Each structure stands twice: as structure tokens, then as C-alpha cells.
């Protein structure tokens, strides 16, 4: 059974096939998202459960639309409705849901919830996000980069800011797709050593550089993410802003990268915090293509999980 739990836990050839299929499906639709005459309905008759312990805009909409475009139906469930691990064990929830649906996507906090759900489900499970990783986002990012600049293998990706779950999945992708990765941020927010080791063990050059201007020299892609979570206290937000202010992606930083370097942000963004308006709305930004490509990448992931 094909679970999509993390990029490092999925075969590299399968990942490449998903990116290629996502691109093909995207090009098979017109500019308003309507199906081309030869478009198929590979999820016809399929029911997909979308579980959200953690709130979402892009993940919810992109998965819901993707399932519907492929002829399937969705059932959207909140963590409050399911009470995962509280009213019923996660294992029992997995067993029950597997009798009703063909595929489960979960966006949750703890990685252990995802792992246990997948262990006991008899249908494929997709990681829509955990506190540690965000593989669906990075598949969309790779699709976006290759649309604009060709193969990402051998390129230099620079992450500026907090070594969070999105950063972690980028490191997994570096190992699987063969690009180099530089992290620049305060030492208290470095990505986990396990993620760095994975990429290095597979031949990717991974560097940690405290000077952001030095880090982006020769960069093909510059990426950042929000500095704070909606659940952070005011004191935590102030502390993180003080730590990260030097790592803001602004015009000066982008000018130090390659002239044709792209900028990405998974959104939502706090404009003028981690990134300036000038960069977000500037010619190097591909954030809206990146947001759209969540739809196409996830459609390919779902098809791979179901073998259709």
C-alpha cells in the first residue's frame, strides 16, 4: 500500500513520476481549470477523508478541489469531530475510517498521530502536514521551480529563517532530487540534525551559514516561511522576531543571489516581517504559481497512493 508520509520515506523514482504526472495533468487543463476533452476521472467512485486537526486554507481547498476534479468525493472532518486519540484510540479510528473511505489525508500536530494512523489504516494515508514535516508543499515547490527553470538537480536552494517543518521537507527533497541546500538562520532555530544527515548521506551539499548575504551567493532559489505560529504567545512572537530580523528576505538579499534566482514562500505570509512586499510582489517571486501547484502536485500524489 502506498502511503505518502514523507519525502524521505518515498522512493525517489516514484517522487519523480509524481512531479512529471502533476505537470502533465496541469497542462491538460485550460487556464480556468476546466478539464480538457481527453481528461479522465481516475477517482470516480472514490471517497477521500480530509482530516484537519490543524486549521488550513490552502491544504483544505487544494485537496477538495483536486479530488472533485478527478471525479471523487470528499468528507471533511475536524479534529474536534473525531477527537483523535481521546474519545477513541487513533488505531481504532484508522480501522473504522478504512471501512468507509478509499484514502485518508490528515493535517495534524504530532508526527506520532500520522504514523499510528498509517500503521492501522487499511487504505493509503497522506501527510497533509505535521509539526515536523510538510511533504505536499515541497512537491508543489519542486513542480514550480522546474516549470520556470528546468531540472532542480544540481541547483542551490537557500532557506532563510526558521528551520521548521517546511525546511525539513526541503532537506528530504535535496537528498531525493539531488540539489544542494543552504540554511541561514539563528543557531537556536537550526533544522534537526537527522534531516541534514539524510540529505548529506545521499550526496547533497548541505551548509549552515549565519550570514544571510553569504548564504545566498550563487542561489538559484531563495525560500522562507512565517516566523511565528498563530498559537504563539505575544512574548514568543517578540522573541522570534528579535532572533530572525536579520534573516528577512528583502531586495538587498535577493540581489545577492543569482540574477535569475526565484523566490518562494508557502503562505500565508506576514508581509514586511519574513519577506518584504517588494520581493513578494516582485519579478522573482513565483508564490502564486507555487500556491496553485499544491492542487496539481497533490492530485498526482493521490493517484500514486491509489494506483490509478
Closest CA to 22 of 264, 290, 289, 298: 298
Q: Which residue has the cell 532572533?
A: 243
How does pLDDT run across 134-188, given as a tens digit for each residue?
999 999 999 999 999 999 999 999 999 999 999 999 999 999 999 999 999 999 9
- 148 contacts: CB under 8 Å, gap ≥ 6: 262, 286, 289
- 225 belongs to the catalytic site: yes
Q: Are 183 and 190 in contact (CB under 8 A)?
A: yes
Closest CA to 254 of 281, 228, 227: 281
- 248 belongs to the catalytic site: no
Confidence of residue 80 (pLDDT cuts 50, 70, 90): confident
Overall average pLDDT of the 41-52 stretch: 97
- 284 belongs to the catalytic site: no
Q: What is the mean pLDDT of the chain?
A: 94
Instruction: Check 155, 294, 296, 303 and give the catalytic one.
Output: 294
Instruction: Check 220, 225, 248, 298 and give the catalytic one.
Output: 225
- 99 belongs to the catalytic site: no
Instruction: Check 107, 155, 172, 303 and give the catalytic one.
Output: 107
Amino acid at each position: 500500500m502506498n502511503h505518502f508520509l514523507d519525502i524521505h520515506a518515498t522512493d525517489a523514482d516514484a517522487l519523480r513520476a509524481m512531479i512529471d504526472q502533476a505537470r502533465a495533468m496541469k497542462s491538460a487543463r485550460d487556464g480556468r481549470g476546466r478539464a480538457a476533452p481527453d481528461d479522465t476521472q481516475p477517482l470516480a467512485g472514490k471517497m477521500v477523508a480530509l482530516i484537519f486537526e490543524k486549521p488550513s486554507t490552502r491544504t483544505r481547498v487544494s485537496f477538495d478541489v483536486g479530488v472533485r476534479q478527478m471525479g471523487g468525493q470528499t468528507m471533511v472532518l475536524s479534529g474536534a469531530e473525531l477527537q483523535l486519540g481521546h474519545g477513541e484510540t487513533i488505531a481504532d479510528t484508522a480501522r473504522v475510517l478504512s471501512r468507509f473511505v478509499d484514502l485518508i489525508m490528515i493535517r495534524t500536530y504530532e508526527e506520532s498521530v500520522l504514523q499510528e494512523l498509517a500503521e492501522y489504516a487499511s487504505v493509503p494515508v497522506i501527510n497533509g502536514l505535521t509539526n515536523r514535516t510538510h511533504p505536499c508543499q515541497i512537491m508543489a515547490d519542486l513542480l514550480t521551480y522546474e516549470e520556470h527553470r528546468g531540472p532542480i538537480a544540481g541547483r542551490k536552494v537557500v532557506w532563510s529563517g526558521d528551520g521548521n517543518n517546511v525546511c525539513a521537507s526541503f532537506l528530504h527533497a535535496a537528498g531525493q532530487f539531488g540539489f544542494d541546500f543552504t540554511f541561514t538562520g539563528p543557531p537556536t532555530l537550526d533544522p534537526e540534525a537527522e534531516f541534514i544527515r539524510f540529505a548529506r548521506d545521499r550526496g547533497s551539499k548541505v551548509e549552515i551559514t549565519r550570514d544571510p548575504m553569504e548564504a545566498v551567493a550563487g542561489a538559484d532559489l531563495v525560500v522562507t516561511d512565517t516566523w511565528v505560529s498563530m498559537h504563539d504567545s505575544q512574548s514568543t512572537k517578540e522573541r522570534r522576531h528579535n532572533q530572525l530580523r536579520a534573516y528577512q528576505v528583502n531586495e538587498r538579499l535577493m540581489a545577492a543571489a543569482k540574477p535569475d534566482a526565484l523566490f518562494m514562500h508557502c503562505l500565508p505570509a506576514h508581509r514586511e516581517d519574513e519577506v518584504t512586499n517588494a520581493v513578494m510582489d516582485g519579478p522573482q517571486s513565483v508564490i502564486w504559481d507555487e500556491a496553485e501547484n499544491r492542487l496539481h502536485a497533490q492530485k498526482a500524489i493521490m493517484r500514486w497512493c491509489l494506483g490509478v
